[in-house]
Amino acid sequence: MLAETKVNTQIGKGYPLIDQCLTVIVPTLWKVESFPKCIMSLAESNIVSRILVIDNNPAQSVQLSHPKIDILSKGVNIYVNPAWNLGVKHASSRFTCLLNDDINTTDELLEYAVSILDNDRDEIVGLIGMDWSANDNVLSHRIVNERNNHFGTAMFFRTKDYSLIPGQLKVWCGDDYLLLRSQLRGKQIVAISAYGPVESNQFSRSINSDRKRLNPILKRDLRLWHGVYRRLLLLRYRPVSTLYEAIRDKVFRIFSA
């Protein structure tokens, strides 16, 4: 269960924002029909300085003509976590968002997340993710100790604080890694709840469309993550059970769907 510690829900409401301070990074296989339209709309946001689309399926690429949008491609599918690493290497803004390609987000959410980080003068917050647990449509956020299954669909952080995800982890557990590294630095993890008309599936449509091929990668990623996790625990991370519980829940949901 997520921790119930509440934080100031007024942050993000009317707080003065810095224009073009956010880089949005989106890996895609071009399998979400609404993605091109949504990403073009996102580029019009005043808070967005640049959108880096990581093209993991060059054979089906779609042209996105906008001065804020750059498409990065290695010519092959490098998968999600290496795509996040690649994008952050090219991010020059103060803040960065890692976004799923099946998320149709809003200016309100981006502004709210950035205002939390921008108002955090002591840099106590290390990572912001998503939380669909609230039933209303009012933006709010709270401190959590672990992520739920929605946390990694959109994550916000200071670009300078990003920890490169181990290259062996291809699709899964990258969000676990970023969360744990933030906690090991003594940073708070925040989840934003109930942010209105944002579309998302429980699992990425890009993953669902090719699950049979990705299942062996899932098993390998989980095995590798257990090893990484154990090594990080040597750094005296105390809540031993929380991420293992999240991993077990993820495996159960994927293989029982």
The more confidently predicted of residues 86 and 167 is 86
195 domain-assigned: yes
4 domain-assigned: no
Residue 241: pLDDT band with limits 50, 70, 90: very low
100 domain-assigned: yes
Does the pLDDT at position 7 exceed 70? no
Please count the structural domains in the chain.
1
The more confidently predicted of residues 178 and 139 is 178
Mean pLDDT of the 69-82 span: 95
Report the pLDDT value the prediction gives residue 6, as an integer from 0 to 100. 36
Residue 172: pLDDT band with limits 50, 70, 90: confident
104 domain-assigned: yes
What CATH number does the domain containing 96 carry? Answer: 3.90.550.10
Report the pLDDT value the prediction gives residue 126, as an integer from 0 to 100. 96
Report the pLDDT value the prediction gives residue 8, as an integer from 0 to 100. 40
Q: How far apart are CA 115 and CA 39, in angstroms?
A: 21
6 domain-assigned: no
Residue 196: pLDDT band with limits 50, 70, 90: very low
8 domain-assigned: no
pTM of the model: 0.79
Residue 26: pLDDT band with limits 50, 70, 90: very high
193 domain-assigned: yes
Report the pLDDT value the prediction gives residue 240, as an integer from 0 to 100. 43
Q: Which domain holds residue 100?
A: 22-256
7 domain-assigned: no
Does the pLDDT at position 204 exceed 50? no
